[in-house]
Chain A
């Protein structure tokens, strides 16, 4: 099924065959797959997930997750190489399946080795998760000899399946795979969908799809979800991309109308979300919103101004404590008991002051040094708030409690559903500021400073003002997040302002896409909402952050939805077709560049 792409300018050019997938690569990926599978088993994920059914009673999550890893590696190994200019499209056939099977087999042998080791030696003293139950699960209940063979065979088959995916016609593949992913999503996000169906008064759907509320999908449910999504994707057939292109190619005012319409629809949906989703999901969304607000603030500091601030949580703490002191009657020293709305200007001033305090010592610092100093500030803030010395002002480890709910005029906000709206409003504000500032005098000055500080200064940018203002804007946005956080929880404690918060916000920006508002939003959804909804995974949240971060840095360093310029920046070498030169240019072959290819 090799496609021959004819270049209209030079039809006589002979296309070179794309070299086939190397077996060495398959072996390498197979060994990595084995290591990954062993890691998944040894961290206890398989045994922990096993009782949770994805499709009741035939597919348990533990084994599914383990073999999804194997499947993924098989798929990856069998991926046909990219078609370069002047080359024929790669031939896809049996070799892809064989490569996938080989990768799977090696992964399975890794698991087999683990099984043997677990049976022969007592490893539990060191690896506490290597339990007898794990042996039972991995070996499908068979004695070790048969279990090793069976594991290898099953893994090879799963790997082959992963490879065989590439053989499917594009349209089938693009309907089948998303549909299967949706089945897993429907099962794992049972709380979300259960709530959604209840909120829409579609309770019968819950009975139809799930064993119980918050339970797994039934077989019938899984089939229904699969068929529905398969049909949707089949008939969509990639047409959604066409729609986007149509909108983009419209004249400006018509496109504007489309965009305004879309924004209106999104706003209406968002208005109803808290009612539909109930308190549990709303609470998760509020938490995610506060993280998103801070991520947008940090995006200005790191993404625009290039100041790697690792102690960003300090500003969050300043906002939370300033809000708490000004509003709570329990505040130890000063207790004006203002309403939160009246307190906000003072919170802003406190945050701006904190921004200046952090920025002043780092004005002449760059890069790594700046990162280390800000890291220190983050910890200093937490330790000071926790200290006995300042306990008369900040309450020490007991924190400040009894923070009143947000009250705006006649409206009182108490439940998570209520808080969704003000949080959302502040997120919108932060997003607006991010976009407005980008195309402004100081936005450009920040970017120039990020690109080359000395040249920016030589071109007239006052570095002192630029650094101070970036820190102050970032600090103010984080302080809003802090004030909302304190008011919603009703209390603030020093241990809420751990360095992990700084790191999580930074990971949201990096994974989402630095400098891009949609990217950061998606980052917050993936990193905050998903782990909270997938309760089974919450124990392994940071493990997943780590894996995600490494995978992103290797495969997509610009993030999920990068800003246009960052994508260009990080992939400029691909535009130059360096890959082409790598294969043929450096091997000393005659560089007969086909005419019209240049």
Chain B
């Protein structure tokens, strides 16, 4: 049984069918890339499965449980965490605090504990901090040391993207959804991130779905590629199968003029 099983998923915004009868499955331990031209419905797909938008039709089953209609925080609790295409950190919070928020759903302390500083609250707080530092150290020294106490708005663009991944990692996910993680990065940073995505699976054991435009990255990381266009799944298969497929080339580059409509 796959970790994520989606059947007949549809979502319309007014007259625009952003997602139209989509069937996708993701197996445990897989890295699946979702590609497609702009406006193909990739980010809407992420929004639907994380509960940030509700689908019009279709079923989403995660780990054997139907998650349609759950709030985003409940879905996260089940083990699905995401990053955002247009980096959405908590700007006026420090790097460390951003990651510590990720631990929210995995911890229990209440206001009572915070006010009376109960031993269990203090233990938990120390564990949260420990965990956050551990997650940040996954990115080498880029987000450690003095960076811990820097506001996240002060970070460089690439570091903000890394911090978003760290925040998602801190939620202890089983399925990690990365929305264009290399957008805006320079070639060297892109190569570094590609390796990192591999390590996310090999060291942390996450299953990963990634939306990506950079074909080098897609080729290097994915077990399977799903191509979306106008909310419909065009084709899925290995990178080589997909990259040579005529329909895909057409979707990206347009129909050659002499063939006509």
Q: Does A398 reach chain B (CB closer than 8 Å)? A: no
Tell me which residues across on chain B come within 8 A of A459, comparing CB atoms.
73, 76, 81, 101-102, 104-105, 167-168, 171
Q: Is the CB of B117 within 8 A of A460?
A: no
Q: How large is the interface on A (under 10, 10 to 19, 20 to 34, 35 or more residues)?
A: 20 to 34
Q: Does A207 reach chain B (CB closer than 8 Å)? A: no
Tell me which residues across on chain B come within 8 A of A572, comparing CB atoms.
151, 153-154
Cα distance A447–B93 when bound, in Å?
8
Tell me which residues across on chain A come within 8 A of B72, comparing CB atoms.
454, 457-458
Q: At the interface with chain B, which of A336-344, A375-383, A461-469?
A: A461-469
Q: Does A440 reach chain B (CB closer than 8 Å)? A: yes
Given the contacts A436-B114, A440-B121, A444-B104, A458 and B50 also touching, CB distance less than 8 Å: yes
Tell me which residues across on chain B come within 8 A of A322, comparing CB atoms.
none
Tell me which residues across on chain A come within 8 A of B125, comparing CB atoms.
439-441
**Which chain B residue shows the least CB distance to A473?**
B111
Q: Does A437 reach chain B (CB closer than 8 Å)? A: yes
Q: Is the CB of B73 within 8 A of A463?
A: yes
Q: Is the CB of B104 within 8 A of A455?
A: no
Q: Does A569 reach chain B (CB closer than 8 Å)? A: yes
Residue in A432, A443, A457, A566 whose beta carbon sits within 8 Å of that of B73 in the complex: A457
Cα distance A461–B81 when bound, in Å?
12
Tell me which residues across on chain A come within 8 A of B168, comparing CB atoms.
459
Most buried by B among A432, A451, A454, A463: A451
Tell me which residues across on chain A come within 8 A of B93, comparing CB atoms.
444, 447-448, 451, 565
| Mask: chain B, 69-104; 1 = CB below 8 Å from A; 0 = not | 001110011000110100011111110010011111
Q: Does A545 reach chain B (CB closer than 8 Å)? A: no
Q: Does B3 reach chain A (CB closer than 8 Å)? A: no
Tell me which residues across on chain B come within 8 A of A448, comparing CB atoms.
90, 93, 101, 104
**Which chain A residue shows the least CB distance to B129?**
A439
Q: Does B109 reach chain A (CB closer than 8 Å)? A: yes
Tell me which residues across on chain A come within 8 A of B254, comparing CB atoms.
none
Smallest Cβ distance from A437 to chain B, in angstroms? 5
Smallest Cβ distance from A444 to chain B, in angstroms? 5
Q: Is the CB of B151 within 8 A of A565?
A: yes
Residue in A444, A452, A456, A460 whose beta carbon sits within 8 Å of that of B97 in the complex: A444
Cα distance A386–B77 when bound, in Å?
47
Cα distance A441–B50 when bound, in Å?
23
| Mask: chain B, 120-150; 1 = CB below 8 Å from A; 0 = not | 0100110010000000000000000000000
Q: Is the CB of A447 within 8 A of B97?
A: yes
Q: Does A568 reach chain B (CB closer than 8 Å)? A: yes
Residue in A445, A456, A458, A566 whose beta carbon sits within 8 Å of that of B82 in the complex: A458
Q: Does B14 reach chain A (CB closer than 8 Å)? A: no
Q: List residues 77-135 of chain A with CB under 8 A from any CB of chain B.
A: none
Q: Is the CB of A441 within 8 A of B91?
A: no
Q: Is the CB of A460 within 8 A of B128?
A: no
| Mask: chain A, 458-491; 1 = CB below 8 Å from B; 0 = not | 1111110000010001000000000000000000
**Which chain B residue shows the least CB distance to A563?**
B92
Q: Does A234 reach chain B (CB closer than 8 Å)? A: no
Q: Is the CB of B102 within 8 A of A460?
A: yes
Q: Is the CB of B52 within 8 A of A458?
A: yes
Q: Is the CB of A452 within 8 A of B88?
A: yes
Tell me which residues across on chain A come within 8 A of B115, comparing CB atoms.
432-433, 436-437
Q: Does A442 reach chain B (CB closer than 8 Å)? A: yes
Q: Is the CB of A451 within 8 A of B151?
A: no
Residue in B51, B107, B114 whose beta carbon sits within 8 Å of that of A437 in the complex: B114
Q: Is the CB of B171 within 8 A of A460?
A: yes
Q: Is the CB of A443 within 8 A of B114?
A: yes
Given the contacts A442-B114, A444-B97, A572-B153, A460 and B105 also touching, CB distance less than 8 Å: yes
Q: Is the CB of A441 within 8 A of B128?
A: yes
Q: Is the CB of A437 within 8 A of B82?
A: no
Q: Is the CB of A440 within 8 A of B90?
A: no
Q: Is the CB of A452 within 8 A of B104?
A: no
Cα distance A475–B88 when bound, in Å?
31
Cα distance A444–B103 when bound, in Å?
10
Q: List residues 567-585 of chain A with CB under 8 A from any CB of chain B.
A: 568-569, 572
Cα distance A452–B73 when bound, in Å?
14
Tell me which residues across on chain B come within 8 A of A565, comparing CB atoms.
92-94, 151
Q: Does B187 reach chain A (CB closer than 8 Å)? A: no
Residue in B52, B104, B117 whose beta carbon sits within 8 Å of that of A441 in the complex: B104
Q: Is the CB of A462 within 8 A of B73?
A: yes
Residue in B91, B101, B105 whose beta carbon sits within 8 Å of that of A444 in the complex: B101
Q: List residues 24-76 of chain B with CB under 8 A from any CB of chain A.
A: 50-52, 71-73, 76
Q: Is the CB of B111 within 8 A of A437?
A: yes
Tell me which residues across on chain B come within 8 A of A566, comparing CB atoms.
92
Residue in B50, B52, B151 whose beta carbon sits within 8 Å of that of A569 in the complex: B151
Tell me which residues across on chain A come within 8 A of B154, comparing CB atoms.
568, 572
Q: Is the CB of B114 within 8 A of A569?
A: no
Cα distance A278–B121 when bound, in Å?
44
Most buried by A among B71, B103, B104: B104
Given the contacts A445-B101, A461-B101, A451 and B90 also touching, CB distance less than 8 Å: yes
Q: Does B260 reach chain A (CB closer than 8 Å)? A: no
**Which chain B residue shows the least CB distance to A447?**
B93
Q: Is the CB of A454 within 8 A of B52?
A: yes
Cα distance A457–B84 when bound, in Å?
13
Cα distance A448–B101 when bound, in Å?
7
Q: Does B256 reach chain A (CB closer than 8 Å)? A: no
Cα distance A432–B100 when bound, in Å?
22
| Mask: chain B, 166-204; 1 = CB below 8 Å from A; 0 = not | 011001000000000000000000000000000000000
Given the contacts A458-B52, A459-B102, A462-B73, A569 and B92 also touching, CB distance less than 8 Å: yes
Smallest Cβ distance from A154 to chain B, in angstroms? 48
Smallest Cβ distance from B42 to chain A, in angstroms? 17
Q: Is the CB of B114 within 8 A of A568?
A: no
Cα distance A83–B12 when bound, in Å?
56
Q: List residues 133-180 of chain A with CB under 8 A from any CB of chain B.
A: none
Residue in B103, B111, B117, B167 whose beta carbon sits within 8 Å of that of A442 in the complex: B111
**Which chain A residue shows the least CB distance to B124?**
A441
Tell me which residues across on chain A come within 8 A of B121, comparing CB atoms.
440
Tell me which residues across on chain B come within 8 A of A436, comparing CB atoms.
114-115, 117
Q: Is the CB of B76 within 8 A of A569?
A: no
Cα distance A461–B170 when bound, in Å?
13
Smallest Cβ distance from A432 to chain B, in angstroms? 8
**Which chain B residue shows the least CB distance to A462?**
B73
Tell me which residues across on chain A come within 8 A of B153, comparing CB atoms.
569, 572
Q: Does B110 reach chain A (CB closer than 8 Å)? A: yes
Cα distance A437–B115 when bound, in Å?
7
**Which chain A residue shows the least CB distance to B84?**
A455
Tell me which residues across on chain A come within 8 A of B101, comparing CB atoms.
444-445, 448, 456, 459-461
**Which chain B residue shows the least CB distance to A572?**
B153
Tell me which residues across on chain B come within 8 A of A452, comparing CB atoms.
88, 90
Tell me which residues across on chain B come within 8 A of A473, comparing CB atoms.
111
Q: Is the CB of A447 within 8 A of B90?
A: yes
Cα distance A572–B104 when bound, in Å?
28
Tell me which residues across on chain A come within 8 A of B107, comparing CB atoms.
441
Cα distance A461–B93 when bound, in Å?
15
Task: Name the 4 nearest CB pairs between A and B, nearest first.
Answer: A460-B105, A440-B114, A451-B90, A460-B76
* Contacts beyond the supplied A444-B100, A459-B102, A569-B91: 6 A-B pairs with Cβ under 8 Å: A440-B109, A445-B101, A457-B52, A460-B101, A460-B105, A569-B151
Selected A-B contacts with CB under 8 Å, 9 pairs: A440-B111, A440-B113, A442-B111, A451-B91, A455-B88, A458-B72, A565-B94, A569-B151, A572-B151
